[in-house]
Amino acid sequence: MSTTIILTIACLGVLGLLFSVVLYFVAQKFKVEEDPRIDIVESILPGANCGGCGQAGCRAFAENVVKAPSIGSFFCPVGGNPTMAEIAKALGQEVEAKEPMVAVVRCHGTIDNRAKINNFEGYSSCKVMSSLYIGDTGCKYGCLGKGDCEVVCKFDAIHIDPKRGIPEVNQDKCTACGACVKACPKSIIELRNKGLKERRVYVSCLSKDKGAVTRKACAVGCIGCGKCAKVCPFGAITVENNLAYIDFTKCKLCRKCVEECPTKAIWAVNFPIKLPKSATEPHTEPQPQTIEKESTVQQEN
């Protein structure tokens, strides 16, 4: 009995030793020389492998950053400035801080604002739907509400609100990786700067239709009247093809356009509920709702 045990242990021990020696030499022979900094950079990266940086994943990002002469053209949207600063430090370089961005859904064609005129059947995907026809509402530019953006989001930051039928971005979870921007077949989602105190003003519509057509299809569409562009003191608003666009690099968050917009297509988020002038009261109506939503989200986190 005891000899069996001893024999077993001896056999296995010798075998183990033999293999470890073999493995050692094999490892020596087939060793791949790799820049050790790649591992360091990779360990700094968030490891989401989202592809938001334009690389195939975090490992590829690390490899390319180390290879590249300058870190300047690289940016990890998930880790943001702190991560980039750390990587720069690890590589002995300097990096400029970039302004934080957030995904903004530029359509408010909710179920209430935009009537459905037909019923879509088939695989529930915006891509399938948009390749087939303009969508189940009268607006061919608006959100289809099938949630391709929700599917691709790796950070649980964008969700279709079943009551409203359009996606909503959780600005605290959003890393501005841009996956939803690419996924949206109607190009409704845009990466905009987070703004001062996370306050943002944007045109929540992409309709290039004539005013009358837009009005018929949607209650809160941009009709291209141009009033906002006239009232903007900073020249941040341009109107092209019956559609206004606010350049966030020029916008100073004065909110004059919000008051002016006849269809309430311009949205201001994260501003205090109380507005300075009583004259603007009618236009504040949709705002408390958004602010409430955004603030509850903040409390949750």
Partner 1 sequence: MKKTFKIGGVHPNDNKLTSDAIIEVFPVLDTAYISMAQHLGAPAEPIVQKGDKVRVGQVIGKPTGFISGFVHSSVSGTVTSVEPLPDLAGNPVTHVVIAVEGDEWCEEIDRTPDIKRDIPYSSEEIIEKIKNAGIVGLGGAAFPTHVKLNPPKDKKAEFLILNGSECEPYVTADDRIMKERPEEILIGAAIMMKALNVDKAFVGIEENKPQAIASMKKAAEAFPQIEIVTLKKKYPQGGEKQLIDSVTGRRVPSMGLPIDVGVVVQNVGTSLAVYEAVQKNQPLFEGVVTVTGHCVTEQRNFLLRIGTPFSKILDAVGGLPKDAAKFISGGPMMGKAVANIDASTLKGTSAFLLMTEEETRRKEEGNCIRCGKCTEACPMGLEPYLLNKLCRAGNRYDDLEKEKIFDCIECGCCLYTCPANIPLLDIIRINKAEVIKIMRNRPKK
Partner 2 sequence: MRKLIVSPAPHIHSKENTKSLMRDVIIALSPSLLVSIYFFGFSAIKLVIVGAFTCVLVEYLIQKYLLHTKVTINDYSAALTGVLLALNLPPNSPWWLILIGSIVAIGIAKMTFGGLGQNVFNPALVGRVFLLISFPALMTDWSIPQSWFRDGIDAVSSATPLALVKEGLAAGQSLPDILAANDFSAKQMLFVKMGGSVGEVSALALILGFIYLLVRRVIKPYIPVAIVGTIFVMTLIFNLIDPAHFTGPAFNILTGGVLLGSIFMATDYATSPMTTKGMIIYGVGIGVITVLIRYFGSYPEGVSFAILIMNATVPLLNKYCKPARFGKEVHNG
Q: How far is 153 from 171, CA to CA, in rounded Å?
A: 13
d(CA 155, CA 171): 11
What does 125 bind: partner 2, partner 1, none (CB cut-off 5 to 8 Å by kind)? partner 1
The entry of partner 2, partner 1, none that residue 78 binds, CB within 5 to 8 Å by partner kind: none
Cβ-Cβ contacts under 8 Å for 163 (sequence gap 6 or more): 111
Binding partner of residue 127 among partner 2, partner 1, none, CB under 5 to 8 Å per kind? partner 1
Is 118 an interacting residue with respect to partner 1 (CB under 8 A)?
yes
- Report what 140 binds from partner 2, partner 1, none; CB cut-off 5-8 Å by kind: partner 1
- Least distance (Å) between residue 129 CB and partner 2: 9
Please select the residue that binds partner 1; options are 60, 90, 111, 134, rule is CB under 8 A. Answer: 134
Helix (H, G, I), strand (E, B) or coil at 50: coil
Of 205 and 229, nearer to partner 1 (C-beta) is: 205
**Three-class SS state of 250:** coil
- Smallest distance from the beta carbon of 117 to partner 2, in angstroms? 7
Q: Give the separation between CA 169 and CA 271, rounded to whole angstroms.
A: 17
Residue 23, CA distances (Å) to 16, 32, 33, 160, 201 in order: 10, 15, 18, 53, 62
CA 135 centroid distance within chain: 23
Name the token pair of 24: 């050692």
Complex with partner 2: residue 122 or 235, whichever CB lies closer: 122
Binding site for partner 2 (CB under 8 A): 116-123, 128, 132-133, 136
CB nearer to partner 2: pick between 63 and 136 = 136
With CB under 5 to 8 Å by kind, the binding choice for 116 among partner 2, partner 1, none is partner 2
Exactly one of 37, 59, 140, 159 binds partner 1 (CB under 8 A); that residue is 140
Residue located via tokens 């004059």:
256
Rounded to the nearest 5°, which phi and psi values hold at 139?
Answer: -95, 125
Contacts to partner 1 by CB under 8 A: 118, 121-123, 125, 127-128, 131-135, 140, 151-152
